[in-house]
Structure 1
Amino acid sequence: MLRSLPKLSPLLSSARTTNIPRFLANSLRFVSSAQTITRTKTSTGRIAMTTRAPIRPMSSSTVSSITAEDHVQQPKLLKSTDDDHDGVIVEMDQPMDAATFVLILRSSISHWKQLGKKGVWIKLPIHLASLVEPLVKEGFWYHHAEPKYLMLVYWIPETANTIPVNATHRVGIGAFVMNEKREVLVVQENSGHFRGSGVWKFPTGVVDQEEDICVAAVREVKEETGVDSEFVEVLAFSRQSHKSFFDKSDLFFVCMMRPLSSDIQKQRLEIEASRWMPFEEYSAQPFVQKHDLLKYISDVCSAKIDGRYSGYSAVSTSSSFSDQKYYLYLNAGALKSSL
């Protein structure tokens, strides 16, 4: 009986041309896919067939691999956070070649457009300056620059651009420091507009980022003259000028200060001379009398000395928008009398 078992290949061949049952033909094809078939006779006289290379079912990992290949790979997107005005902020950090960056940028803008986003802010640290050119070519423009980064922006919708412009103003202070002898602290500058003019003026300076006006006044007096002082009042918001510093506007506040020391140690880099001068002598300078702005400031200071004028003191307050402390400048005396 064992010798009479037909060979498999003729059976498979005939299965293609004869009308044998389909399930038998499929079974034969399955058996023929094994690498080697061995026919043996068991102790009961039955015939058993085994293969040297067992046929295993398809693993789940193989199925997963096929599934992943069948799907279109999702494009990479730039990591972003939402702002409060339907825009996104991207803070770049990792180096990236320009070609790859442009592809990811285009996919990201398309994604943000589908989400209804408007403005795109991309913050580039200085070590990624090579990405400035591809950003500009994709339609971004400069918004502002700081020592460690450059900010570029882009407007997605086909509507009027409402991205706010960069900061437009500088804030400056002038410090009116008077002692008990009615002497005012004045300086002569060795640089800038007043260099070599012989004009005696109040210590002045620019408010630093995240610095309050009252704090800046104390700092500037100390830096220019070495005199310690404390803030009393904002006597006047004396000037709003334009096109003064790289096309920016200026806001200038005159602050009354109380001296806490008297010894002068001038700053040699910017200050040519510094002294305590009788207020009347300061006010009588031709330069002060000639310019209306300076004369008004002098009159305000004089009225304050005589008790005929009240400025705006700094009241520490808070806001529900943040945990940061704020100063509200107001006429505290007038407010108290009105309550």
Structure 2
Amino acid sequence: MDSVSLSEVTITRRTHLVEGSRAISSSVSNTKSQYVYGESLAATADSGYKMNGVNLKNRTLFGSVKERLLLDAYDDEYGGVVVDHGKLPSNPNVFTSMLRNSLSDWRRKGKKGIWLKLPVEQSELVPIAIKEGFEYHHAEKGYVMLTYWIPEMEPCMLPANASHQVGVGGFVLNQHKEVLVVQEKYCTSSNTGLWKLPTGFINESEEIFSGAVREVKEETGVDTEFLEVIAFRHAHNVAFEKSDLFFICMLKPLSDKIIIDDLEIKAAKWMPLEEYVEQPMIRGDKMFKRVIEICEARLRHRYCGLSPHRLISSFDGRPSSLYYNVVDDDQDHSHSTCSANIYE
């Protein structure tokens, strides 16, 4: 039996048969009926309940039928519910009925936050859910996530959408004290002609260190090895009111031939560090000036950045990258890279 083909029928005394989307017979004025697709449901005074002519003498069996009038969902660990987006009904009318039934059921059970993920192929269901009180949480290329907070006397405790975007910049310095720089094809008029570090955004589930190596490779064709996070910047209201984390990474060049990505890069070259610093835009920017000072201090072993160390937490059993560095570790000398020559 298709779980989207049934809806609840409240019966008293007389037989009421629902088939398709119309009532075959009804003789009690207080009968409540919701439209049904594809199945027949009946109740009799002497036999209890019938479905498609089959007696359901046990109310437990009828209860199992009622459960199929609800959206498929599972409980989360915070007292809420996550709707199974892979089992949503395709008919908007059926979805409306099942959503209302489900909300009533979740409210009766004391559930709190509801997560409803609607695939782009079923975007026609979005206005229905919004009308029932759901709110937009976030959207991705293939879906929209909606939420509903049931407790009226409690503040909503559902986590907000992601608040930050994460970017990386690659500071690549060769043995000739030349830094790898690019000119972007598309930039603001104030940045026209500026030679800058290769930069970009981290992909979903991508590490900071691998993202920096990837961005440099994509924009310039130069292979590199990640060394350290030299510093990171935290800024707000950067893009569509989102905050920004920008990690400046020191990378060791493994090749020197430049092959630019002409879709986004106008030019790329190895520029003497002194010439790079003397650019008016760089020289007049306190943050970039400080970044160069930090990188130079690292080259002279007067500064130590952050290196990733893969660890597994007992809380979730997942491997994570913990970024840190120590000047000296008697138990594990591999933790200390501050005194190492980055070009060895």
Q: State the TM-score bracket (shorter-chain normalisation).
A: 0.7 to 0.9
2:21 is matched with which residue? Answer: none
* Residue in structure 2 matched with residue 295 of structure 1 by the alignment: 289
1:74 aligned residue: 66
2:198 matches 1:203: yes
1:68-122 CA-to-partner distances (Å, cap 9, x unmatched) read: 6996862611111111211110122344322221221111112112222100001
Note if 1:92 corresponds to 2:82.
Answer: no
1:196 Cα deviation (Å)? 5.9
Say which of 207, 211, 217 aligns to 1:212.
207
Q: What is the Cα deviation at residue 286 of structure 1?
A: 1.5
- What is the alpha-carbon distance in structure 2 between the residues aligned to residue 254 and residue 337 of structure 1? 29
Amino acid across the alignment from 2:242: K
1:281 paired to 2:271: no
- Offset of residue 66 of structure 1: 6.2
Which residue, 254, 262, 265 being the options, matches 2:256? Answer: 262
8 Å CA contact 2:311, 2:322 repeated in 1:
yes
1:161-200 mapped onto 2 (5 Å cutoff)? 161-193=156-188, 197-200=192-195
User: Offset of 1:332 from its aligned partner?
Assistant: 3.6
Where 1:333 maps in the other structure, the secondary structure is: coil
Structure 1 position 140 matched with structure 2 position 134: yes
Name segments (4+ residues, structure 1) moved above 6 Å.
61-64, 68-73
Partner of 2:119: 125
Establish whether residue 222 from structure 1 lines up as the match of residue 217 from structure 2: yes
Q: Residues 95 and 114 (structure 1 numbering): CA distance in 2 closer, same or farther, change over 3 Å?
A: closer
| Cα distance per residue 1:283-314 (max 9 Å; x no partner) | 12221111111111111111111221110111
RMSD (Å) for aligned C-alpha atoms: 2.6
The 10-residue stretch of structure 1 (162-171 or 91-100) with the greater mean CA deviation from structure 2: 91-100
Shift of 1:164: 1.0
Contact 1:300-1:309 within 8 A present in 2 as well: yes
Taking a change above 3 Å as real, the CA distance of residues 154 and 177 of structure 1, as seen in their structure-2 partners, is same
- In the superposition, relative to structure 1, how do residues 250 and 192 fare at CA in structure 2: closer, same or farther (>3 Å)? same
Gaps of 5+ in 2: 1-46, 334-344
Residues 309-331 of structure 1 deviation map (CA, whole Å, 9 limit, x = unaligned)? 11011111112244432111101
Return closer, same or farther for 1:309/1:287 CA change in 2, 3 Å cut-off: same
Counting only pairs closer than 5 Å after superposition, residues 39-58 of structure 1 correspond to structure 2 as none
Match of 1:115 among 80, 105, 109: 109
More helix by share: 1
Q: Larger Rg: 1 or 2? A: 1
Aligned equivalents of 1:297, 1:125: Cα separation in 2 = 44
Question: Is residue 234–residue 254 contact of structure 1 (8 Å, CA) maintained in 2?
Answer: yes
Determine the C-alpha separation between the residues in 2 that align with 1:98 and 1:306.
67
Query: What is the TM-score of this pair, normalised by structure 1?
Result: 0.76
Evaluate the alpha carbon distance shift between residue 260 and residue 283 of structure 1 in structure 2; reply closer, same or farther with a 3 A threshold.
Answer: same
Q: Distance in 1 between matches of 2:298 and 2:283?
A: 19
8 Å CA contact 1:174–1:253 kept in 2: the answer is yes
TM-score, structure 2 normalization:
0.75
Which of residues 65, 68, 87 is equivalent to 2:55? 65
Q: Which amino acid aligns with 2:55?
A: S
* Residues 78 and 104, structure 1, Cα contact 8 Å, conserved in 2: yes
Q: 1:338 to 1:321 in 2, by over 3 A?
A: closer
Residue 138 of structure 1: CA displacement?
Answer: 0.2
CA contact (8 A) 2:89 2:95 kept: no
- The answer to whether the 8 Å contact 1:316/1:325 transfers is yes
Unaligned segments of structure 1, at least 5 residues: 1-57
Distance 1:326 1:336, change over 3 A: farther
